[in-house]
């Protein structure tokens, strides 16, 4: 059996929701071609990696191979699997690159073996993230696999739910050319404090509640107010160039909420869906100008919340 799966990029945390909230965004997607043959043992091999960011993917062990092995092990299956990865999601920009690869792989295998256990599939894909982050974290993979905005509300056992959206906001992704940091995701996670003052926990809890309530009710102003974080973003300031300098200006110019996308350096700004193109264009010019003042280039993308992973059966 041969299948092709694609999974979109994602933005994790959405401000206060470290490791529990993520949004699938339609900017980029990874593709994984999966060939499955009968076997009496588990065999998983990546035979080719292509695409503009292929050089960042180790062919012997990557998020796809680890996720595929975990899938077979979890469901007691034996098969010979060959993977081909087309790496389109930029690496090191906080857009869920490694998660997209794992999600596409798991989606294809779920289709092939008729598995519909959403929580289990997210947990399996999260195991693939060990390669990139040093530990499994399910937020990005959940968004790329299921689409929309997702909430991880339990880790043991893992439980995930899609948040129903009454209104889909307009999304702007500001993506600076990243500062090269070896094992960036691992490093970014190492910056997060292990203990925090209770008042910061209370602040973030209130903001998460506001963000989710706003998304469900369609009150995007409330949702935007909920995209504030007093714990993780301040701790990661050393790897977030210009974020704190431009954040308030973006809100003054019309953004309802602004946050770091995942581990950064990309920034997500949320707008009312009826925001005029002229406002977005003014912001785009402002952002590019500010980064260039610091000798940095950045990309500004219009985006929307995307659906989950798509699978096509090439050969039954």
Same domain, 128 and 221: no
Same domain, 291 and 177: yes
Same domain, 150 and 260: no
How does DSSP assign the chain, residue by residue?
Answer: -EEEEEEEEEEE-TTT-TTTEEEEEEEEEEEEEEEEEE-SSEEEEEEEEESTTGGGS-SSS-HHHHHHHHHHHHTT--EEEEEEEE--SPSSSSS-HHHHHHHHHHHHHHHHHT---HHHHHHHHHHHTHHHHSS---HHHHHHHHBSEEEEEEETTEEEEEPP-SSPPEEEEEEEPPP--TTHHHHHHHTS-SS--HHHHHHHHHHHHHHHHHHHHT-HHHHHHT---SSHHHHTGGG-TTHHHHHHHHHHTT-SEEEE-TTSS-EEEEE-TT--HHHHHHHHHHHHHHHHHTT--EEEEEE-B-B--EEEEEE-
Same domain, 286 and 310: no
Same domain, 311 and 204: no
Report the pLDDT value the prediction gives residue 79, as an integer from 0 to 100.
95
Residue range(s) defining the domain that contains residue 174:
170-303
Same domain, 67 and 209: no
Question: Domains in the chain: how many in total?
Answer: 2
Report the pLDDT value the prediction gives residue 302, as an integer from 0 to 100.
96
Report the pLDDT value the prediction gives residue 191, as an integer from 0 to 100.
85
The rounded mean pLDDT for the chain is 94
Same domain, 134 and 183: no
Report the pLDDT value the prediction gives residue 237, as an integer from 0 to 100.
87
Same domain, 180 and 106: no
Q: Which one is predicted more confidently, 219 or 92? A: 219
**CATH assignment of the domain containing 298:** 3.30.70.890
Residue 214 in this model has a pLDDT that exceeds 80: yes
121-168 residue pLDDT tens: 999 999 988 887 777 889 999 999 999 999 999 999 999 999 999 999
- What is the percentage of the chain residues whose pLDDT exceeds 70? 98
Same domain, 155 and 197: no
Report the pLDDT value the prediction gives residue 33, as an integer from 0 to 100.
98
For 92-110, what is the mean pLDDT? 95
271 pLDDT band, cuts 50/70/90, is very high
Same domain, 37 and 153: yes
Q: Which one is predicted more confidently, 293 or 183? A: 293
Same domain, 196 and 127: no
For 222-229, what is the mean pLDDT? 98
Residue 183 in this model has a pLDDT that exceeds 90: no
**CATH assignment of the domain containing 116:** 3.30.230.10
Same domain, 35 and 98: yes
């Amino acid at each position: 059996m041969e299948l092709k799966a694609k999974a979109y990029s994602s933005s994790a945390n959405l401000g206060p929701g470290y490791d529990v909230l993520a949004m699938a965004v339609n900017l980029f997607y990874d593709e994984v071609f999966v060939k499955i043959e009968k076997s009496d043992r588990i065999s998983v091999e990546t035979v080719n990696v292509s695409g503009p960011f292929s050089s960042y993917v180790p062919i012997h062990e990557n998020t796809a191979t680890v996720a595929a092995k975990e899938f077979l092990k979890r469901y007691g299956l034996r098969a010979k699997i060959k993977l081909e990865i087309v790496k389109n999601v930029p690496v090191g920009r906080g857009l869920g690159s490694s998660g997209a690869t794992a999600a596409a792989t798991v989606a294809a295998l779920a289709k092939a073996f008729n598995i519909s256990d959403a929580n289990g599939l997210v947990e399996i894909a999260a195991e693939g993230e060990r390669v990139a982050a040093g530990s499994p974290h399910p937020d990005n993979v959940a968004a790329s696999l299921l689409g929309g905005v997702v909430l991880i509300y339990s880790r043991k056992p893992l439980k995930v739910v899609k948040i129903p959206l009454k209104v889909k906001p307009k999304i702007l992704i500001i993506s600076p050319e990243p500062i090269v940091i070896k094992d960036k995701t691992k490093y970014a996670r190492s910056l997060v404090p292990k203990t925090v003052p209770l008042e910061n926990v209370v602040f973030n809890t209130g903001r998460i509640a506001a963000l989710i309530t706003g998304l469900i009710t369609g009150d995007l102003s409330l949702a935007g107010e909920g995209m504030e974080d007093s714990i993780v973003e301040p701790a990661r300031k050393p790897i977030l160039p210009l974020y704190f300098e431009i954040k308030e200006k973006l809100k003054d110019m019309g953004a309802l909420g602004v946050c770091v996308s995942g581990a950064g350096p990309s920034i997500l700004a949320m707008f009312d869906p009826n925001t005029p193109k002229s406002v977005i264009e003014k912001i785009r010019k402002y952002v590019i100008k500010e980064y260039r003042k610091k000798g940095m280039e950045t990309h500004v993308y219009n985006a929307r919340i995307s659906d989950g992973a798509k699978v096509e059966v090439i050969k039954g």
